Structure 1
Amino acid sequence: MSKQNLVRDPTKERAELFVSLAKYYMDLHNKKNSDVAKAIGVSDQVLYKRRQSPRNFKLSETLKIMDYLKFSEADRARVVGVKVKIYAMGGKDD
């Protein structure tokens, strides 16, 4: 019987989610890796390495990338691990 790690790692999951969302928004806004690296003040190589190991992103870099790529509020909340309640236009808080 093989041993498996059955424990979820929410930090790893959020880091991987961030990288996949960053790729989505880079494609959406037609931005290259070099554009994002320049916007957050790191070299292309550093950004590439951090995308390969997403847990190595600093919080400040994560926030700068989300601002530069114009992440939606819902996606921002998913990345930082905040649960938000999204209301439809004109909805009321009961």
Structure 2
Amino acid sequence: MSGNVSYAFVEKHGGSPEGFGVQNASFIIARMFRWFSSGEYPYSPNGEKAKDRVIKVGRKEINWQKLVFFAMLPAIIIVLGTIVLYVFYPNFRVL
């Protein structure tokens, strides 16, 4: 008899008697999608192709950018960090 009562409850109220008001995962995912995206679907990569598909930087400029970002910028950060360390902590010694 309890199986029939449970089935009747599900038919009438749309949930189970143990977890009345509990939502299933697909409902929650759909609600969260609408909440985060305002109901708009994300960008589809199957649309038109991008117009800027050509690299306009030459080998010389790429090598210059590598030098700046992998050598000069870290060196500047290390020098500035060393200066700040010795200005604010003059008694600091590494060894």
| TM-score higher than 0.5 | no
Structure 2-normalised TM-score?
A: 0.21
- Find the structure with the greater CA-based Rg: 2
Structure 1-normalised TM-score?
A: 0.21
